[in-house]
Homo-oligomer: A and B are copies of this chain.
Amino acid sequence: MKNSNLLIAHGGGPTAVINSSLQGVIEEALKHPEIDKIIGARFGIEGLLDEKFIDLSSQSPDIIEGLSHTPASVLGSCRKKLKDEDFSKVIDIFKKNNIRYFFYNGGNDSMDTCNKISKFVLDSGYDLAVIGIPKTIDNDLVNTDHCPGYGSAARYVAISMMELASDIESLPIHVCVTELMGRNVGWLTAAASLAVRDNKGPHLIYLPERPLIMDKFLNDVKEAYDLYGGVLVVVSEGLKDEKGQYISDCGFIDDFGHKIPGGVSQYLSNEIIRNLGINSRSEKPGLLGRCSMMHQSQVDKTEAKAVGRFAVKTALEGNSGYMVALKRVSNEPYECEIGFQDLEKVANFEKSFPTEWIKPEGNGINSDFIDYCLPLTGGKFPEFIRLKEIYI
């Protein structure tokens, strides 16, 4: 369709490569004369509803080039859930602006929104290609090998935990409980296992796929403390107790009705001090782990861009109602193919961390996961030296 416009919006939390996907979309769209204007909605579907539209076609090459090394979302994002009455308004806005290609770049909640828009558009008879572009540091979208954004966040976790483990080993005066993001799934926290070298730690890793049993946890910590002195414990923000309640949450609920987890490391650290009488402190890098450009994975960046390009190509081929997905075809050398999946089969599902990759004791990760995760991080971690232990 000639002189039609393309709209892209971001949903949910940003990643270190969401702007790379935007770069892919823009670069691909600029090649196709059938696309007139490339439009970005400011702050996700909020900007869509308010028609806060930015012209991406007339950004300078420097700006487009700079997208891949700029953190967060340059368009802005939101966590808004569309109400039933919003959908007809959305269609009107698409029509008014002659938008014929719509891309929503986000995670689970965004794919749900994307799917609903896709179905509503289909029912309305308006000719619009709707494509979801995956993105989440949580890595919890189903029917894709992994999600763009995860590899960079996992690289951040791996390198940061290598460094932190060195710190704890060099001044072994306390237990350090570190909390990592990932909502209800342990994918990101599991990346801490990539940091393990010799006896350095992380010594204990807990994912939300297993309930945290406090007595067992304290026993694990005590044993590791007796063995190593300094102990690095890594926990997921989404850890739950045996009743399925968050060990700790932020005290507020998002637009999708989800409680926002957070604060578990400090809670557990306090329990260690109180019950074991061992010095303990907590760390919570939190959002820092999803916006660190220093830890951007080159593999992740390349894929994020390719996924953006693919979205444009598949929409131009007349496809709609799909999410772009990755399929691993080889692990050595690592290679992924890009394809797509029905949005219907993606929206509102959550991919948990495979329990067979969790050690039977529930406090560590198996090496199968490392084979899965390492290539996504871009590999090549920094090498730290150790002194030769020649004693006098």
From the candidates B160, B281, B288, B390, name the one contacting A262 in the complex (CB within 8 A). B281
Chain B residues with Cβ below 8 Å from A97 are 392
Inter-chain CA distance A43–B169, complex, in Å, is 10
Inter-chain CA distance A263–B76, complex, in Å, is 30
From A273, which residue of chain B is reached at the shortest CB distance?
A: B251
**Proximity string of chain A (10-38) to chain B, C-beta cutoff 8 Å, 1 when within and 0 when not:** 10111000000000000000000000010
* Interchain CB contact under 8 A, B392 and A72: no
What is the distance, in angstroms, from A171's C-beta to the closest C-beta of chain B?
5
Q: Among A12, A53, A55, A71, which residue has the most Cβ atoms of chain B within 10 A? A: A71
One of A289-297, A327-335, A363-371 contacting the partner: A289-297
Number of copies: 2
Cβ-based interface call for A236 (8 A): no
Cβ-based interface call for A244 (8 A): no
Inter-chain CA distance A62–B383, complex, in Å, is 12
Chain B residues with Cβ below 8 Å from A173 are 78-79, 254
Check A390/B169 contact, CB under 8 A, given A163-B293, A285-B288, A293-B382.
no
Inter-chain CA distance A166–B71, complex, in Å, is 7
Cβ-based interface call for A384 (8 A): yes
Inter-chain CA distance A106–B40, complex, in Å, is 52
* Interchain CB contact under 8 A, B294 and A273: no
**Proximity string of chain A (270-293) to chain B, C-beta cutoff 8 Å, 1 when within and 0 when not:** 100110000111111111101111
* Interchain CB contact under 8 A, B13 and A171: yes
Inter-chain CA distance A62–B386, complex, in Å, is 10
From the candidates B10, B13, B160, B291, name the one contacting A166 in the complex (CB within 8 A). B291
Chain B residues with Cβ below 8 Å from A284 are 282-286
From the candidates B78, B163, B288, B392, name the one contacting A54 in the complex (CB within 8 A). B392
Chain B residues with Cβ below 8 Å from A71 are 163, 166-167, 384
* Interchain CB contact under 8 A, A291 and B79: no
* Interchain CB contact under 8 A, B281 and A63: no
* Interchain CB contact under 8 A, A170 and B391: no
* Interchain CB contact under 8 A, B387 and A291: no
Cβ-based interface call for A77 (8 A): yes
Cβ-based interface call for A176 (8 A): yes
**Proximity string of chain A (69-111) to chain B, C-beta cutoff 8 Å, 1 when within and 0 when not:** 1111111111100000000000000000100000000000000
Cβ-based interface call for A227 (8 A): no
* Interchain CB contact under 8 A, A291 and B54: no
From the candidates B54, B254, B273, B391, name the one contacting A389 in the complex (CB within 8 A). B54
Cβ-based interface call for A142 (8 A): no
Cβ-based interface call for A159 (8 A): yes
What is the distance, in angstroms, from A124's C-beta to the closest C-beta of chain B?
23
Cβ-based interface call for A164 (8 A): yes
* Interface residue ranges, A against B (CB under 8 Å): 10, 12-14, 37, 39-40, 43, 52-56, 58-60, 62-63, 66-67, 69-79, 97, 159-160, 163-164, 166-173, 176, 250-252, 254, 260, 262-263, 266, 269-270, 273-274, 279-288, 290-295, 382-392
